Structure formats: structure tokens, C-alpha cells
Amino acid sequence: MTVPVAARSLPAPTARRHAGHPSITYRAPHLTLSKEVIDALGLQKAREMIARRDLLVAGAVGGAALVLPAPNEAVALPNETAVVPGARSVGKFAVSTLDPTTIPKYVTNLVIPPVMPKARHPERHGIDTYVIGVRQFSQQVLPPTLPSTTLWGYGSLGDNSTFNYPSFTIEASVDRPVRVTWVNDLVDSQGRFLPHLLAVDPTLHWANPPGGNAGRDSRPTFTSTPGPYTGPVPIVTHLHGGHSTEESDGYTEAWYLPRANNIPPGFATVARSTTSSGTSSPMRTA
């Protein structure tokens, strides 16, 4: 059933400054209840639908700044967060503090990714081999006058200088196999796992490491609305353009956690399918 909802278009963004940092705040449109909505759903259900729709519309422009509906507008705070008092799950969410109209254009050279270095013994058994990790690092992506950006990217575990955005290129030859060991290295300098850079909704069907081996790769149930997932990040690298079999293609349920020294007890560290294929460590070989 399609229910009509009256809505106004997004207004122009309002640029503000807090504590010396440029910021941009979008006001979410106010969605109103129509008679058809109330007749079809009942007043309470209609209000719930509007509240959810407000949040969805708000998130649609997250590329520029996170839009957070609240009774008195959503405002970016000095600590780069915004509080959502009107949401049922109250918490802080990261927001952009850069006004895109202030970023100089066409002043940074286009990066031509270098070649990814091979492993120490790259030609063993006639196979080009690589050991490539995923790490969190900071890089000057924006023009030099602006702050650096925290990124997740790939690089050779044997050479820290290769971790870059965009990542380096694997050069392959026709009829010559390539073997890559992918390593989840999303840990800090103490070997502790790093949380996700973005908010992760744990109520969806997903990897679900907290569910343990029995509850992984499922949609967990909760007695109350949980906050964002803040545990170790499961990853899997999906390939495009390679001639590879399905177990090496990086499908969704082939994830694995980082090689961290503080994985919470009871967490599943690899996907069910990863275990069945014989891999039980924080790395995958493709």
C-alpha cells in the first residue's frame, strides 16, 4: 500500500562557524500528516511513520553533512558531533564540519597509483604473491590548506609507505596466477581493535560478531533499541574484474575480524563460510 505524505523540498544549507571551524548544517524538511495517512494507519502509526521518514530524508544528504532531525533543528557542535534529542535512540553522531563551497577546486594533482609491491618471494611456484593489509591512516586528501583525512586503505604489510588513497595497483600478466593474502589490520599502535569510522546499525542482518559462532551472519534480536556497534570491524575484500572462483571473490559472508589483542570473549572472529573453507585467522588468501 502506498501512503501519500506531504513534504517540502530541502532548503538551502546554512553555513555556520563553531570554535573557529567552518561547519554546515542542513535543516530537515518538516513532513506533515495528511488525512489519507491518518485514515490508513491511525494517528499513532502515522506519527511513527513520519518520525522514521524524517530520519531517512535527513540521512539522504549525508554526503555533505549528516542531517539530524530534532525539535529545535540539527546543529553541528564544536566537537564534530550532533545530539539528536528527538530520536528514540539518543546518541552522538559524527557530522561534517567542512563547508564544501570553501574547498578550492583543481589545485591538487591527480594521483596515479604506483604498483603494489609483491611479497618477499613473489615468484614462488610460478605465482605472483602479495600480502596486503587494510589499515586506518591519515592522509592529505583535501588541498594542503585544509585538515588531513582519516582513511581506511590498502597497502603492502612489508612497506608502510604503500598505504595510500587511492590504493596501489596490482599488475597481473595473462595466464600467470596471482595469490593475495588479505589482512584485516584495523588496530591501533597497541594492537587493540579500532572501531568503525561510521555508525553501524547492529539490528540488521549482518556479520554479527557479538553473536558468537552460533549467532554470526544473522539478524540479532534486542529487548531495547541498541546503540551503534563499536566492536572490532569485520571486513572482506570484494574483487572486480578478476578471473577467480567464488571462494576467493570476497562475498559478504566471508568476513574476518582484525588481528587485535582485545577481541571481546565470545565474539566470532570469522564468518561461518570462512571457517568451513579452512581459514580461521584474521586474513584471507585469494
Residue pLDDT tens, the chain, 286 long: 433 333 333 334 333 333 333 333 333 344 444 444 445 445 554 444 444 444 333 333 333 333 333 333 333 333 444 443 333 333 444 555 788 888 999 998 888 999 999 987 655 678 899 999 999 999 999 998 898 999 999 999 989 999 999 999 999 888 889 999 999 999 999 999 999 999 999 999 999 999 999 999 999 999 999 999 999 999 999 888 778 888 888 888 899 999 899 999 999 999 987 654 444 445 555 5
Regarding pTM above 0.85, the answer is no
pLDDT of residue 71: 34
In a domain, 52, yes or no: yes
In a domain, 256, yes or no: no
User: Residue 192 to residues 43, 137, 185, 276, 283: CA-CA distances in angstroms?
Assistant: 48, 15, 10, 27, 16
State whether residue 6 is helix, strand or coil: strand
Look at strands 178-184 and 128-139 and give their pairing. Answer: parallel
In a domain, 70, yes or no: yes
Phi and psi at residue 124, to the nearest 5°: -65, 130
pLDDT of residue 286: 59
In a domain, 176, yes or no: no
pLDDT of residue 126: 84
What is the C-alpha end-to-end distance of the chain, expressed in Å?
45
In a domain, 84, yes or no: yes
pLDDT of residue 232: 98
Q: How far apart are CA 60 and CA 89, in angstroms?
A: 19
pLDDT of residue 265: 96
In a domain, 66, yes or no: yes
In a domain, 87, yes or no: yes
pLDDT of residue 226: 95
**Number of domains the chain is built from:** 1
pLDDT of residue 79: 42
23: domain range? 14-102
In a domain, 41, yes or no: yes
The DSSP symbol for 275 reads H
